[in-house]
């Protein structure tokens, strides 16, 4: 990959003198969905697929940004003096947003950049191509300009830029997983206070398989922000009865005791998902520590049902992939992953069932939906790096 982006950099900008190459991973979330902005727990891991950048400093204030994934757009030009979101800036609003967020923290960019990017995360798949790009940009700026920020800062800067520059009201999970990834480990993160621990995710005799529905979600235009505001409103209603800061502070029992405070059925179901999913995530990590992968899988399945019925962020194509997966012997658990409205499922599949899983899901999906599904037997990788 390093050679590929360097070759393209030379083609676009004439030479590779003074160029550095960077990588930041995408992520898959094993369980704990839509809990990260509700003060709950999440359990994501960084992947070995992600986003690559070849970059070098310029001697002026211009930004020349090129993506091999959006070849037809050519080099998109702007300047560090004019960092504001613009429709015509296309995908460059993500790196520009991070630059803007650095400047908000008092880190002034001393000069412009030439950058070539390439991502091998399928776009719109729900594996966090945007967070990967944000963390990559932050890591690259830190290295090129010597900014003193930690990897947790990189995650927070990425989230801040996506919330306030790109208008996507996401939680911290995606950026945190990309910035703090550790090989063969998932991150058990409490999003209320950013306390975390690494939990080994080496599955004996089983693989993690991500299935891409090839139904693309576009989150800023989706119901994601609506879900968040529904949860915020439900929390306000609950706070009239019980002293909590977030939905993640409640046990299932406490929620059931006070849920009558929520005056709207949709808000009630959204809040129920946030509370129950948080408790499921805590139990799932405990199950993993006890080597009870079967219980972990059962909790994944329950998570999908809740996301489908209470949070309503699934779609018919994803439900078909999950339901077909549940029929196969050797599938320990399967659920939607990511923000929803399309994207991917994540499944734990016994080694001997992986080929059958791919073949049967492929055939059923094509027959029932008329689309092809793509499969990735994923490896868990480290966070961002300079190559």
Q: Within the chain, what is the greatest distance between any pair of CA atoms? A: 67
**Mean local confidence (pLDDT), 333-362:** 94
Residue 222 lies in a domain: no
Task: Please give the tally of structural domains in the chain.
Answer: 1
Q: What pLDDT, on the 0 to 100 scale, is given for residue 340?
A: 85
Look at residues 2, 17, 39 and name the one whose alpha carbon lies nearest to residue 274.
39
Residue 159 lies in a domain: yes
Q: What pLDDT, on the 0 to 100 scale, is given for residue 220?
A: 46
Q: What pLDDT, on the 0 to 100 scale, is given for residue 126?
A: 72
Q: What is the mean pLDDT of the chain?
A: 94
Count Cα atoms within 13 angstroms, Cβ side, for 38: 32
**Mean local confidence (pLDDT), 244-267:** 97
User: 36, 174, 249, 310: which one is catalytic?
Assistant: 174
The tens digit of pLDDT for each residue in 141-177 reads 999 999 999 999 999 999 999 999 998 888 899 999 9
Residue 378 lies in a domain: no
The tens digit of pLDDT for each residue in 191-245 reads 999 999 999 888 889 999 999 999 876 554 568 889 999 999 999 999 999 999 9
**Mean local confidence (pLDDT), 10-18:** 96
Q: What pLDDT, on the 0 to 100 scale, is given for residue 14?
A: 96
Residue 102, domain extent: 2-200
- DSSP collapsed to 3 states, 243-285: CCCCHHHCCHHHHHHHHHHCCCHHHHHHHHHHHHHHHHHHHHH
N- to C-terminal Cα separation, the chain: 10
Residue 76 lies in a domain: yes
Distance of CA 241 to the CA centre of its chain: 34
Please check the confidence at residue 259 and state whether its pLDDT lies above 50: yes
Residue 94 lies in a domain: yes
CATH number at residue 155: 3.30.230.10
Residue 35 lies in a domain: yes
Look at residues 111, 138, 102 and name the one whose alpha carbon lies nearest to residue 22.
138
The tens digit of pLDDT for each residue in 286-312 reads 999 999 999 999 999 999 999 999 999
Q: What pLDDT, on the 0 to 100 scale, is given for residue 224?
A: 83
Q: Does residue 137 come out as left (phi exceeding 0), alpha (psi in the -120 to 50 range) or beta?
A: alpha
Question: Residue 174 catalytic?
Answer: yes
Residue 227 lies in a domain: no
Look at residues 185, 179, 67, 167 and name the one whose alpha carbon lies nearest to residue 123.
67
Residue 336 lies in a domain: no
């Amino acid at each position: 990959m390093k050679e590929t982006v360097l070759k393209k950099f030379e083609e676009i900008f004439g030479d590779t003198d003074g160029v550095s190459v960077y990588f930041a991973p995408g992520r898959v979330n094993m369980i704990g969905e839509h809990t990260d902005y509700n003060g709950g727990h999440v359990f994501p891991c960084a992947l070995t697929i992600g986003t690559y950048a070849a970059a070098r400093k310029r001697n002026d204030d211009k930004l020349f940004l090129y993506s091999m994934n959006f070849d037809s757009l050519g080099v998109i030009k702007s300047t560090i003096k004019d960092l504001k979101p613009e429709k015509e800036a296309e995908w460059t609003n993500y790196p520009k947003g991070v630059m803007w967020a650095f400047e908000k923290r008092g880190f002034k960019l001393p000069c412009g950049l030439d950058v070539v990017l390439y991502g091998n995360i399928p776009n719109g798949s729900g594996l966090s191509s945007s967070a990967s790009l944000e963390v990559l940009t932050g890591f690259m700026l830190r290295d090129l300009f010597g900014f003193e920020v930690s990897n947790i800062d990189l995650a927070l800067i990425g989230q801040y830029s996506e919330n306030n520059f790109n208008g996507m009201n996401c939680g911290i999970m995606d950026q945190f997983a990309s910035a703090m990834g550790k090989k063969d480990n998932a991150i058990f993160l409490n999003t209320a206070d950013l306390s975390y621990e690494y939990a080994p995710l080496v599955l004996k005799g089983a693989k993690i398989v991500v299935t891409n529905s090839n139904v693309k979600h576009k989150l800023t235009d989706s119901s994601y922000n609506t879900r968040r505001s529904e949860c915020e409103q439900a929390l306000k209603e609950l706070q009239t009865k019980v002293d909590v800061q977030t939905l993640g502070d409640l046990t299932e029992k406490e929620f059931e005791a006070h849920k009558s405070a929520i005056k709207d059925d949709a808000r009630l179901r959204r809040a129920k998902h946030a509370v129950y999913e948080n408790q499921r995530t805590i139990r799932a990590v405990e199950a993993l520590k006890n080597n009870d992968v079967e219980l972990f899988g059962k909790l994944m399945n329950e998570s999908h049902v809740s996301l489908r019925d209470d949070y309503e962020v699934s779609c018919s194509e994803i439900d078909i992939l999950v339901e077909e997966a549940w029929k196969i012997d050797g599938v320990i658990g399967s659920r939607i992953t990511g923000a929803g409205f399309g994207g991917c499922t994540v499944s734990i599949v016994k080694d001997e069932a992986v080929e059958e899983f791919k073949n049967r899901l492929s055939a059923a999906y094509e027959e029932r939906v008329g689309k092809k599904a793509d499969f990735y037997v994923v490896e868990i990788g480290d966070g961002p790096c300079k190559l």
